[in-house]
A and B are shown apart, each in its own frame.
Chain A
Amino acid sequence: MSDTTNPPVKTEEEPPSGDSMMQRIVAGNALISVLAVVIALVIGGFLIAFANEDVREAATYFFSRPMDTISAAWTAVSDAYIALFRGSIFNWEATTFAGAIKPLTESIVFAVPLILAGLGIAVGFRAGLFNIGAQGQIIVGAIFASYIGFAWDLPVGLHLLLAMIGGAVGGAVWGAIPGVLKAKSGANEVIVTIMLNYVAVYLISYTLKQPVFNPGRSGQKSPAVAESASYPPLIPDWLVPGNSFRLHWGVIVAILATMAVWWLMERSTIGFELRAAGANPNAARTAGMSVGRITVITMVIAGGLAGLASTAQVLGTEGALTAGVAASYGFDAITVALLGRSKPWGVFFAGLLFGALKAGGFLMQSLTQTPIDIVLVVQSVIVLLIAAPPLVRAIFRLPDPDRPRRSARTAKKQEVAA
């Protein structure tokens, strides 16, 4: 092996470019994700303790009896996290089985739009696109889906299917705009999608004031979506008697979508092109791929998934179009995609986690007076840590996974080659 005669190729000491930042986000490992969640929960614990009345009172005489403060803090944090668990997974204090597992179903209800929109963001990440526009795509998808849902009169099954397609098309159209602009004129997709989010917010306000969406009322809600266009409840009454679950078939859509996105990314030519364009647009172009076309396709898929996320709301949970239909799902989905490392099943589980945090946050607030904003802080800290893997590694004293492994591998390779 005479790599020694190679001309200098400055690969290792070059400063990280934007592309490699994207690579880091996409290529990070699952361990970092898990550790990021752990650290975020620990930091959340500190905040809960600081925000707690008892803890602060005990802290006034901290130096005479420090154990009071510590035990108060422990109580506050453990109570809050126990409430979070009871509110999101399993409530053992409930009187019926249905009541006990209701929190879990609520978590999934919140998770479904997060998973679907998160998949859309993840597809964008894999293709090297920062799609910040899931919020707007959800809104426009919701307008389409709800309109088909309440205004059309179609047989059961077909109606739901058309409403779903309508939602996906709405999101896809909204996603296609930045895609086409980027492909044709190089417009930065981050800026365009952010701006389109604002446009969508005002579009929904306007839409809800139109007579069709708001017949004779001044409320902020459209007519209810027809039964024939709604997701049926997932768990029928005969299975778990007396349930009042909001859980609907949208979760099946989410599971199918996750599988579909996995297939798309790993087993289809479209995914191959998409990943190539994301990993190295120059090589993709040299290999005859049209990077502009890939950009448009990616944004259409991303928008379509965000549009599907909206159907979980308007055809399921909410049953109508409301001004707040998208809540903050479009933005939380970015975090979900990051936490899930832009891998379909990673996004799926990250979505479940975030759904659980959302659902559990309500009970935590009502039982322990812990502000629900703590959940937001935990989510934000997760993003920060994922954006800075070296920080997580430093905290847990993990070795840099790239360096030793890469050199060990190349060493092995050179032995083979020699």
Chain B
Amino acid sequence: MKLELQGITKVFGSLVANDHIDLVVEPGEIHALLGENGAGKSTLMNVLYGLYDPSEGQILLDDVPQRFNGPGDAVAAGIGMVHQHFMLVPVFTVAESVALGYEPAGPAGVLEMAKARQHVLEISERFGFEIDPDAKIEDLPVGVQQRVEIIKALSRDAKVLILDEPTAVLTPQETDELINIMGELKESGTSIVFITHKLREVRAIADRITVIRRGKVVGEASPTSTETELASLMVGRSVSLAVDKEPAEPGDVAFELDKLTVLGSTGTPVVDKVKLKVAAGEIVCLAGVQGNGQSELAEAILGLADTDGGAIRLDGEDLAGKSVRERLEAGIGFVPEDRSTDGAIADFSIAENLVLDLYNTEEFSRGVSLSPSKVAANANVRTEEFDVRFTDIHDKISTLSGGNAQKVVLAREMSRPLRLFVASQPTRGLDVGSIEFVHKRIVAERDKGTPVIIVSTELDEVVSLADRIAVMYRGKIVGIVDVAKAGPMGVNRDVLGLMMAGVSLADAEAQIAKDASATTPKSDEEVPS
């Protein structure tokens, strides 16, 4: 079945999650939808699956416009979806799970589990899944659970199968098996929309690649594209935001991570023996594709993530065993990655949010008595200084735009003397004006002699803001690029792109040099020797 999306736009309030997205998936094609987290891929697929109503645009199946009022309609039309987080009932058997939602019933509504079992066996045999229909979901490994979801979709005659980040939860082996399964499904004529941000898989299996960034289609690529090309398309190089800053004057090493390890929820290290030194008065950016341990690293510095060995030293003092409060009091300023869940309290006023981690200091309280007038006075000063646009400091912070809310968080974290400033995705979701402002403040903090660590997946931001760039891949720092030594042309983004795919700095530079020399002779020919 041919699937076509025409001008799909989805607006949430003032946010445009999908902006006129066009997509064509031919029958029997594996079409990869590549983009970073938050690029709008999942929203698009939820529109396609009937979970969201598109604000604009239409969905065509075999050139017939469709209108889905819910996933039921989408399933009936032949669209199947395997969610990133499986929609399975742990205590059900495989057959029950597959039957769930369209239970085969005999006369008098008696459930006929035998039919469901039969169905599972048939499909599982056809694709070589080897699944026991009577096994309980909770006893199955994640990779097999995913196959149950696939069987479930196929049992409803899905002609178009959407796989939302299917490899996010899989081991490399399971990933390889999934890639084989996708190949077989393709052979049998099923179209697959494959959502991911992992470059290797895309190149391994996709027939065509559409790259989405910030809700828009930014380009199509063929699977023969190099990972560098894909990476730079994905994280974007279209806009270059220059940051006006003097060269850094780094002092002594003020902050140090020594073999820091952080374990993820599955017990595997998400930050793996990372060593990093940051000098006073320099900005080190942690770059990398989202999900390679940068966020966890930042959280570990503040004590939000438990470390499993290694040391975090601030001016020579180990922070291990210190509480978040103690670390804040030691002079760490922290801007969390997700402002709405971690950085601010939506139901609190702007003024209250501006003292969220300072309310108990002598400045705002005496004993347990909080001074509302001082909190208000502080809010007036801070909002003025950080150019926050608001109507009343006692309004809830949720009434502010994203940019202004972020300025509130930044104003709070920069309102005391800092010995280290850590910010995750400081400009995510902000408009250009706010981005510029935030960058200026960060550079100003650096110029005060504070060591600064910025976690960002925006390559533009990294390149323009950093004095040194540490690229992370699978929990390790692949290499550190010194921006000051990069010469007049600036940092080579292609090198960074390769490093984000796990290639070491030396290899990446060598490869880029080789690519460059492979293309240079052409231009040389025009020059008569």
Contacts and interface: CB of A to CB of B under 8 A. Distances in A.
Interface string B361-400: 0000100111010000000000000000111000100011
Contacts, number: 150
A276 B401 contact: no
A414 B12 CA distance: 16
Contacts of A2: 431-433
Contacts of A4: 14-16, 19
Contacts of A27: 347
Contacts of A409: 395, 399
Given A12-B13, A283-B342, A417 B357 contact: no
Given A8-B40, A286-B336, A413 B341 contact: no
A283 B334 CA distance: 12
B224 interface: no
Interface in A141-176: none
A285 B324 contact: yes
Contacts of B221: none
Contact of B389 (A9, A271, A416): A416
Contacts of B360: 269
Given A287-B356, A416-B391, A6 B15 contact: yes
B369 A283 contact: no
B47 to A, nearest CB: 11
Interface in B171-217: 214-215
Nearest to A7: B38
B21 to A, nearest CB: 12
Interface string A382-418: 0000000000000000000000001101101110110
B52 A13 contact: yes
Interface residues of A, number: 44
B390 A268 contact: no
A410 B360 CA distance: 31
A262 to B, nearest CB: 13
Q: Helix, strand, loop or mixed for chain A's interface?
A: helix
Interface in B498-517: none
A267 B214 CA distance: 42
B12 A417 contact: no
A283 to B, nearest CB: 5
B404 A270 contact: no
Contact of B12 (A8, A272, A289): A8
Contacts of B369: 267-269
A161 B12 CA distance: 58
Given A8-B15, A9-B402, A279-B347, 14 more contacts: A7-B429, A11-B13, A27-B347, A269-B370, A276-B345, A276-B356, A279-B348, A280-B347, A283-B342, A286-B336, A286-B357, A288-B324, A413-B390, A413-B391
Interface of A: 1-13, 23, 27, 267-273, 275-276, 279-280, 282-290, 406-407, 409-410, 412-414, 416-417
21 contacts: A2-B431, A5-B431, A6-B16, A7-B40, A7-B215, A8-B18, A8-B43, A10-B17, A10-B43, A11-B12, A268-B369, A270-B368, A276-B345, A279-B348, A285-B304, A290-B323, A410-B14, A410-B401, A413-B401, A416-B390, A417-B401
